[in-house]
Amino acid sequence: GRMSFATELQSVRSRKRLSQSQAAAVIPGLSVRALQEWEADRKAPPVWAQGLILAKLRASRARRKT
């Protein structure tokens, strides 16, 4: 079946090599805490927002730490 949002979020984040705080920073106003809740599958954003969030993460560039 379809991957859960939690699973999909984790796989996109690991493919992009983003930490939880880097991933949260991609979405304006998203706290790391909320991202952790999503990944733990305890909470999820509205279904209409899920695709937007994943698309934004897929389009993001991991910022190199200087």
Report the distance separating Cα 38 and Cα 63, nearest Å: 22
Residue 46: both structure tokens together: 């509205």
* pLDDT value, residue 62: 66
Query: Using one digit for the tens of pLDDT, what is the confidence trace for 8-66?
Result: 999 999 999 999 999 999 999 999 999 999 999 999 999 999 999 999 999 997 666 65
Report the distance separating Cα 30 and Cα 10, nearest Å: 16
Candidates 19, 18, 28; CA nearest to 53 is 28
* pLDDT value, residue 64: 62
Residue 42: both structure tokens together: 């305890």
pTM: 0.86
Residue 36: both structure tokens together: 């952790």
Report the distance separating Cα 19 and Cα 21, nearest Å: 5
